Amino acid sequence: MISNVIRSCFPVAAQVVADKAEEINKLNVFPVPDGDTGTNMSLTLGTVVKEVEALPAGASMADVAKAITHGSLMGARGNSGVITSQILRGVAEGLVAADGPDATPSDVAVALRNGVRVAFKAVRKPVAGTILTVLKDVSERADQLERTDITTDDLLDQLVVEAYESVARTPDLLPVLKENGVVDSGAFGLATFIEAFVNARKGKAGEVSDFKTTVSTEEEAKGHVADVVDIEINDDWEGSQFRYCTEFLFHADSPMFDEDACLKYFSTMGDCELLVGSNPDYKCHVHTNRPDRVLRHMLHRGQIYNVFVHNMDLEAQERTEKVRADKEAAAPEPKKPLGFVAVAPGSGEADILRSLGVDVVVSGGQTMNPSTADLLEAIEQCNAENVIVLPDNGNIRMAAEAAVSACEDVHAAVVLTKSVPQAFSAMFAVDPEASLEDNVEAMTEAVAAVRDGEVTTAVRDSQAADGTPIHSGDVMGIEGGAITVVGSDVKQVTLDLVARMQEAEEGDTLTILAGADLDDEAFEDLTAAIEEAQPDLEIDAHRGEQPLYPVVFSLE
């Protein structure tokens, strides 16, 4: 049955994407340390795997499609995750009508057409040279092959080739990719998943083709499309229960710390394994019955701190008892008229947002985008009749919009903030007595008056907007999504970036946030230098504690 094929192949393909996540991440066009397309796609697929594996034996294709749709949406993280969720939903729903023991070429073509329809509908302004282009090209190829006498196996093989050839063409469709010598990360992630799924269906799965993700010519990329290898498919997994949720921060002793080996070890000790960050600092998470072994293993490779071990069995019992007690208690607190949800990566940023009236601050941002489910839960936690969501990051916009669309008992809307400082200005524009629509309009106008700047360190060689070479380790100043200043010192790059933005359009107020890696002494020195260089600029300085970006600021 088609449903059984999907249930057996999907987890294998999802694991391949997870194994390739770091490679996909590195394709991020800007050399900033928050390129997380691979991570987002992997986490989204992983959520689907859990939903599908929870289905009872004999589940129908309709049941599988429902699990894929729900799991991918609730687990979607970042724009890439949301788009992936819509592709999965469209293809799965397109297979529901297939009634044979196996999919025919026509079934595959119909499913892909539906995937194109659903995915393109979800994206307001589709961009050529991205994951959507690969989906469209593969669907059109299926339409051509469907009209021939081709078998399903041969058709699927041809679609794998088309997927990679489409990926190879992305630099010719999106100039910024060609400028940086890479293919599109989401496109490559989708092609990887397609090939892994097809290989698993044939009983041959695992590591996918050695496709070069950094290309000099389209022909070079096309030359690495084929070559599948065998893999043992583990189809006897029956699920497991682990007692201890183990979380801790980890500082690696060596720049050669093997992230893949660490994750593989975590997987042998339990499930829900997660390693977030970049050398030398990581956040580790795993559900296991032996947290002592996990901690001992990591102690041999670095330093651990902020350790939290939760007994999930006891927590579940306590939660059940609390829910029962709550139901027996008095009537719930009445909903307030208007609530706010915002996303922030730094603890200092979160404190400021709360002081400005934000009800729920969701942890996330540059390195770990919250999922649709995370944002939906936050909306519900507001206990408000109307809720405004501030994503504070362009890569969280689609997840925020998906969460708002999924609301059933709450009127919700998104104000498209791309940074935390923009959220500050938006909150100052709030009128508690006004309607949801009027507040959205006023907050959107306030956001439009804010110009943002960010300072971070390059993680690979690239080039700035004006063609200036960027080398790994250089300090970069980013404004309006473009790298415009390159240097070797955070203080000087910040001064140059502020001066450049002031020359373009003079502002009156500078709100500046210190990142976790910028100590108080350096921050005070920086603000003093800005005051000296820009005497007419009013400076509002705070500790933001955001990771990866030592300086984030806004001009108004």
Structure tokens at 249: 């921060």
What is the structure's pLDDT at 263?
Answer: 87
Structure tokens at 213: 């993700």
Among 172-186, 234-248, 345-359, the range scoring the smallest mean pLDDT is 234-248
Query: If pLDDT is split at 50, 70 and 90, which confidence band does 364 have?
Result: confident
Give the Cα separation of 54 and 139 in Å (integer): 30
Amino acid at 372: T
Cα→Cα distances 317→169, 199, 324, 406, 428, Å: 54, 43, 11, 29, 42
Give the Cα separation of 49 and 193 in Å (integer): 13
Give the Cα separation of 186 and 395 in Å (integer): 13
Listed in sequence order, the residues at least 6 apart from 471 whose beta carbon sits closer than 8 Å to its beta carbon are 458, 461
Query: If pLDDT is split at 50, 70 and 90, which confidence band does 190 have?
Result: very high
Q: What is the pLDDT of residues 225-234, one digit of tens each?
A: 333 222 222 2
Classify 340 as helix, strand or coil. Answer: strand
User: Is this structure's pTM higher than 0.85?
Assistant: no
150-154, Cβ contacts within 8 angstroms, sequence gap of 24 or more: 150/105, 151/105, 152/102, 152/103, 152/104, 152/105, 152/108, 153/202
Classify 418 as helix, strand or coil. Answer: coil
Domains of the chain: 2-222 (1.25.40.340), 244-315 (3.30.70), 332-448 (3.40.50.510), 452-555 (3.30.1180)
Q: What is the pLDDT of residues 408-435, one digit of tens each?
A: 889 999 999 999 999 999 999 999 999 9
What is the structure's pLDDT at 63?
Answer: 94
Q: In the predicted model, what is the mean pLDDT of residues 291-307?
A: 93
Percent of the chain with pLDDT over 90: 60
Q: In the predicted model, what is the mean pLDDT of residues 240-268?
A: 87
pLDDT at 291 over 70: yes
What is the structure's pLDDT at 247?
Answer: 79
Structure tokens at 523: 């921050």
Closest CA to 132 of 175, 176, 189: 189
Closest CA to 49 of 78, 26, 23, 17: 17
Give the Cα separation of 469 and 463 in Å (integer): 4
Rg, Å, the chain Cα set: 24
pLDDT at 265 over 90: yes
Q: In the predicted model, what is the mean pLDDT of residues 111-116?
A: 95
Listed in sequence order, the residues at least 6 apart from 41 whose beta carbon sits closer than 8 Å to its beta carbon are 17, 21, 24, 80, 81, 84, 186, 189, 193
More confident residue, 5 or 278: 5
User: Are β-strands 281-288 and 244-252 bridged in parallel, bridged antiparallel, or unpaired?
Assistant: antiparallel
Contact 128, 174 (CB under 8 A): yes
